[in-house]
Amino acid sequence: MPPLRIAIDAMGGDYGPRATVSGAALALAQKPGANVTLYGRRHLLDVELSRLPAILAHVRDRIDVIEAGDSLPANMTPSRILRDTFNGSLYASLDALRSGDACACVSAEHTGAIMALARRDVGMLDNVARPAISAAIPTVSQKPCYMLDLGANVDVRAEHLVDFAIMGAAMVRLVDGVQLPKVGLLNVGTESSKGERRVREADMLLRASEHTRFEYVGYMEGDALFTGNTDVAICDGMVGNVALKSSEGLARMLGERLRGEFQIGWYARTVGWLAKPVLRRFMQELNPVRYNGASFLGLRSTVVKSHGNAQAEGFAYAVRRAMDEAAMNLPERLMS
């Protein structure tokens, strides 16, 4: 098998090449069977490449650089992105998927921008009506729970929710190696009489059909996202988006408060100093970097979005995710 080639939009995100170049190099060091192509301003990328630590020197010859434009201007709407012939780094790296020069793309641009361009330039799978965005959230157990959709769709029907269940289960089974993933449907309660009509209809459809490749466990409530009892949580994009972002906001607030508590008075400050290594471990848990990378499911090739504020380590996680999905040929096998 020839090595996988991953196209990296090297200009996107809050930190641009500073995060993407060393992030890509870190991912290469961990995944021997892959190469990357960085798309962006060559002079900026070369500077970052020359700064790679010696310990990453051995991956240098698995990195290509292709000159491309900048990141997207701030606040550019998806419709303007589609209208303009803006030849930025996102456009160039997605174009590599279209032309077959790469089998997966990673970008830290805004979700809406990536999705709009990817649908146009990469295209959708024939048997998927709606793409979905999925991300992993940490749970009390060792394995994460994948939630989808996170905002690709806001007006969905019951059949779309069923598609999300099939796609999410395939991803977890193929990429994460969970033999028979447990799939739950997010709802306001666990009784069968509860919820929006489309959710109740999706529940009926999921119960009626025979799924041999995942186990449908029925309704789940929001708090069950973190119990580790479910591998995949299905919902419409509005619900998933608000739930994910409110969780991120809460984690950030609690992190700040914890820091704040250890700054009130000399006693707390002293103990806080002593507790630093323990608190650092805990802050890692609060850190979204750990599972950085949202997968765009339903496209003809693997596309992974990194958090805009991810630094090198977080970006590397998203690149590894893209490598894993591409290695398993996930797009082709998504509706299996």
Please classify residue 45 by burial: count the beta carbons closer than 10 Å to its beta carbon, then call 0-12 exposed, 13-18 middle and 19+ buried.
buried
151 binds a copy of itself per the rule CB under 8 A: yes
Q: Given the complex with a copy of itself, which of 43 and 197 has the nearer CB atom?
A: 197
Partners of 134 in beta bridges: 148, 295
Q: H or E segment at 39?
A: strand 34-40
Q: Taking Cα atoms as reference points, which of 281, 263, 329 lies closest to residue 301?
A: 329
State which residue, 141 or 336, has the beta carbon closest to a copy of itself: 141
Tell me which DSSP letter residue 198 carries: H
Contact 141, 230 (CB under 8 A): no
Residue closer to a copy of itself (CB basis): 200 or 213: 200
Angle at 300 between CA 297 and CA 306, to 5 degrees: 50
CB atoms within 10 A of CB 198: 16
Q: Which of 87, 129, 271, 333 binds a copy of itself (CB under 8 A)?
A: 271
The answer to whether residue 253 forms part of the interface with a copy of itself (CB under 8 A) is yes
- Here the tokens at position 233 are 């949580």
Among 169, 225, 232, 310, binds a copy of itself (CB under 8 A): 225
Whose Cβ is closer to a copy of itself: residue 123's or residue 260's?
260
Choose which of 1, 191, 210, 266 interacts with a copy of itself (CB under 8 A). 191
- Quick one: which of 14, 67, 84, 261 contacts a copy of itself (CB under 8 A)? 261
Site for a copy of itself in 126-145 (CB under 8 A): 138-140
Q: Which is nearer to a copy of itself, 199 or 319 (CB)?
A: 199
- Angle CA 111–300–115, to nearest 5: 15
Residue position matching structure tokens 């000399």: 266
DSSP string for 253-269: HHHHHHHHHTTSHHHHH
Which of residues 113 and 328 has its CB atom nearest to a copy of itself in the complex?
A: 113
- Which of 242, 329, 332, 336 binds a copy of itself (CB under 8 A)? It is 242
**Torsion angle of alpha carbons 7, 11, 16, 22, nearest 10°?**
30
Nearer to a copy of itself, 69 or 78 (CB): 78
**What number of CA atoms fall less than 13 Å from residue 103's CA on the CB side?**
18
Non-local (6+) Cβ contacts of 250 within 8 A are none
Site for a copy of itself contains 193 (CB under 8 A) = yes
Kind and range of the H or E run holding 80 = helix 78-83
The CA distance from 309 to 252, in Å, is 13
Binder among 14, 67, 155, 332 for a copy of itself (CB under 8 A): 155
Based on the shown chain and the rule CB under 8 A, indicate whether residue 84 belongs to the binding site for a copy of itself: no
Q: How far is the CB of 257 from a copy of itself (least distance, A)?
A: 5
The b/e string for 117-152 (b: 16+ C-beta within 10 A; e otherwise) is: bbbebbebbeebebbbbbbbbbbeeeebbbbbbbbb
Q: Which is nearer to a copy of itself, 34 or 108 (CB)?
A: 108
Residue 82 near a copy of itself by CB under 8 A: no
- Should residue 308 be labelled a site residue for a copy of itself when binding is judged by CB under 8 A? no
Of 58, 60, 252, 333, the one binding a copy of itself (CB under 8 A) is: 252
* Window 203-222: residues binding a copy of itself (CB under 8 A): 221-222
Asked whether the beta carbons of 8 and 37 are under 8 A apart, the reply is yes
Establish if 331 lies at the interface with a copy of itself (CB under 8 A). no
272 binds a copy of itself per the rule CB under 8 A: yes
Which residues contact a copy of itself by CB under 8 A?
75, 77-79, 112, 138-140, 151, 154-155, 186-189, 191, 193-197, 199, 221-227, 235, 237-239, 241-254, 256-258, 261-262, 264, 267-268, 271-272, 274-275, 277-279, 281-282, 285-286
